[in-house]
Structure 1
Amino acid sequence: MSETLKTKPHFPILDGLRGVAAIMVVIFHLFETHATSHQDQIVNHGYLAVDFFFLLSGFVIGYAYDDRWHKMSVGDFFKRRLIRLQPMVIVGMLIGGALFYFQQAPIWPNIAETPIWKMILVMLIGCTLLPLPLSMDIRGWTEMHPLNGPGWSLFYEYIANILYALGIRKFSKTALTVLVVLSGTALAHYVITSPGGDIVGGWALTGEQMRIGFSRVMFPFFGGLLLFRISKLAKIPNAFFWSSLLVVIVLAFPRVGGTETLWLNGVYEAIAILLVFPLIVYIGASGSLVSNASKKTCKFLGEISYPIYITHYPLIYVYTAWVSRTKPTLSQALPYLCLTFVSAVVLAYVCLRFYDIPVRKWFQQKFQR
């Protein structure tokens, strides 16, 4: 590295919001197992947390790197992003591989027929985050990462980072605004006219799914970057409470409209992504934490957010397989649902403390001098 770059102070409330959204994702996925369609899903819009993560990332990337390019090369930037993201990608895939054969159930007949060599090959490719074609789908859900489904969003996160580093970082505010308006228009058009009336998708290596993936990352990520560049932050009291409450409300909000008016739900999601999420990030960035309790809470939520997001889904697969085999009611399944949630938090914390932090520290000492 050409020069040592000191770590900037974080926005602690934004760290906390990332953790709130990550926990909502886990809750959403647990209840999704018991839904028969998007219409009766509990914590209905939890999948929008991905779009919120992208917007947060764009804002934070702008804050962390926009003024550093005179000290940092593109290669340095990629090293820093890889050190931050890739260790947990690897451990998430390893956990997915370790639990794969515990997920045999009627919902996934492919699992019992998958030879171990093929599972290991899928796991090793998954550790690189390179997307897998449909021919390598060993589960049957057309995921580009069938051992750990949420890996698809990290794939698009990397793409956004590459686009930022290779050129978009140089965009003027006017050029960036044009990009954000065009990508926002494309996102709104898709979600309002989509067959399901929602933005769900992006996890498969098909033309339609890749359109969804790019629609979901381009506006939020570069909208977050634009928000950082044009914002004049205010002093908003109780910002963590209000912004986290808004996150929970947006992600838990019931389905809008019915099967005859799917476009209404698309309008809701377009408003949430294009308007409400930037407002939430602005509120969070404009606030400060006063009490030690709130500082510790945001610190814990921020630290656990990425590990829980990238490691929880193999446990969701196991829970989904159990539900598929035994077909319990929600009340009967509730103890196991809670156990899975607690296990996801504990697993993430263990990975954070005993793997992610020391591994990143070692890489930083070796490659970021």
Structure 2
Amino acid sequence: MLHHYFYFLLPRIGPTLEPYTMFFFNGYLWVDFFFILSGFVLTHAYIKTFSLKVSQDSYRAYFISRIARIYPLHLFMLFLFFSSELLRLVYIAYTGGEVNAAPFTGIYSLSSLIGNLWMVQALDFSSPPLFDVLTTWNQPAWSISAEWLVYLFFPFLLFDLTKCQNKTHFLIYGIALVSLFLLIIFTYGHLNFLGLWSLVRCALEAILGMTIYKIYQSGSYRHFFSFNSTLIISILSIFLVMHYDWNDWFSLLPFCLLILSTSVKRGDAISNLLAWQPIIYFGEISYSIYMTHWFVQETAKRVWKIVFDKDLGMDFNFLQTLTMLFVCVVIVIGMASLTYKLIEMPSRYYLKNKFLTKKYIG
């Protein structure tokens, strides 16, 4: 969220900070952390289900659970953006006011809406072979699309991974992962890309998450991961990679260490901090925060343009910039709390109870 707000909501913040730190510029790497974490968490949730076989019933239950988890809020946010475009259309018709772009054009075109409704907006099928695409509508949702497409195959990947019972198999997996990551990074120099490569990016990092779960499950090196120094080193390493703008490749190992370190029970102050109710709550509403923050940003920019006839934040001083940032973050948290309570949870409960048997409701 801060990556977007520093460069798109209040675009003077990011470039102003860059001579001092590239940390916020490289904020897109948290998407890669999310892909790894998602692979880890889903493996924990489904490893017993898919370790022996992928049956039709178990895959159907998995498919419905994924739909119930991500689609209702995605659809609701598309509705809000669509409504916003309608309001712009009415505003132009009744006031004759000028806008930067006509409603339902560009990134808000009706043709791109179709891809968003099907959650395939991570790809542009009209531009093979890499299907490179511009983000449209709720723009951060490209990562949800990539995750959705990749995780259609997750049960089969998990079934295959559980067959790796010795170090040789893990070594082969590791070499394959490293080779593919190196191919991508030395081809592009970074991980910040869309189109077909975004699916490869998501898939490789999901497999990385699955692999480190196997390490976690085996109990190997658990004592090492329980050291507070390991956690501190992982956090410090992530900061250094992002702060000094090192190659994106160097962020992946500390991301894995961070996940493994926070997964091990310690019974100390760090465990108590991670179990702190506000931390848990922000984790619960994190998907809503991610999905709503772009709408708050774009709405703020449009309203400011209409009211003051100038771009938001371009003539702000330091205090005004911080105030606007604080206000928008508070609005996002408030909106995310509402969408979590009124959209995410009720729709997830409804869909699971309607389409799943009691055996698969969890």
Question: How far is the alpha carbon of 1:193 from its aligned partner?
Answer: 4.4
Question: How far is the alpha carbon of 1:308 from its aligned partner?
Answer: 0.8
Residue 47 of structure 2 aligns with an amino acid whose one-letter code is D
| Residue of 231, 250, 259 corresponding to 1:271 | 250
Name which structure has the greater RCO, CA cutoff 8 Å, separation 6+: 1
Normalising by structure 1, what TM-score? 0.72
Determine if contact 1:45/1:251 at 8 Å carries over to the other structure: no
| Residue of 204, 208, 213 corresponding to 1:223 | 208
Aligned residue number for residue 182 of structure 1 = 176
Q: Distance in 1 between matches of 2:327 and 2:348?
A: 30
Matched, 1:91 2:76: yes
Determine if contact 1:184/1:219 at 8 Å carries over to the other structure: no
| Residue of 148, 157, 179 corresponding to 1:158 | 148
Structure 1 292/134 Cα, relative in aligned 2: closer, same or farther at 3 Å?
Answer: closer
Structure 1 248/110 Cα, relative in aligned 2: closer, same or farther at 3 Å?
Answer: farther
Aligned residue number for residue 95 of structure 2 = none
Aligned residue number for residue 363 of structure 1 = 351
Question: How far is the alpha carbon of 1:102 from its aligned partner?
Answer: 6.3
- Superposition map of 1:280-295 within 5 A: 280-287=258-265, 291=272, 294-295=275-276
Question: How far is the alpha carbon of 1:346 from its aligned partner?
Answer: 0.9
| Residue of 192, 201, 205 corresponding to 1:200 | 192
SS in 2 for 1:184: helix
Normalising by structure 2, what TM-score? 0.73
Answer with 1 or 2: which has the greater Rg. Answer: 2
Question: How far is the alpha carbon of 1:176 from its aligned partner?
Answer: 6.2
Q: Distance in 1 between matches of 2:285 and 2:154?
A: 26
Structure 1 81/177 Cα, relative in aligned 2: closer, same or farther at 3 Å?
Answer: farther
Aligned residue number for residue 27 of structure 2 = 46
| Residue of 321, 325, 330 corresponding to 1:337 | 325
Determine if contact 1:87/1:359 at 8 Å carries over to the other structure: yes
Percent of aligned positions with the same letter in both sequences? 19
Residue 254 of structure 1 aligns with an amino acid whose one-letter code is H
Question: How far is the alpha carbon of 1:242 from its aligned partner?
Answer: 4.2
| Residue of 243, 250, 256 corresponding to 1:254 | 243
After superposition, the C-alpha distances for 1:20-68 in whole angstroms (9 at most, x for unaligned) are xxxxxx1121112323599555623211111101101111111111111
After superposition, the C-alpha distances for 1:256-293 in whole angstroms (9 at most, x for unaligned) are 3xxxxxxxx32xx21111x1111111101113566498
Q: Structure 1, unaligned stretches of length 5 or more?
A: 1-25, 203-208, 257-264
SS in 2 for 1:312: helix
Q: Distance in 2 between matches of 1:124 and 1:193?
A: 32
Question: How far is the alpha carbon of 1:120 from its aligned partner?
Answer: 5.5
Q: Structure 2, unaligned stretches of length 5 or more?
A: 92-98, 358-362
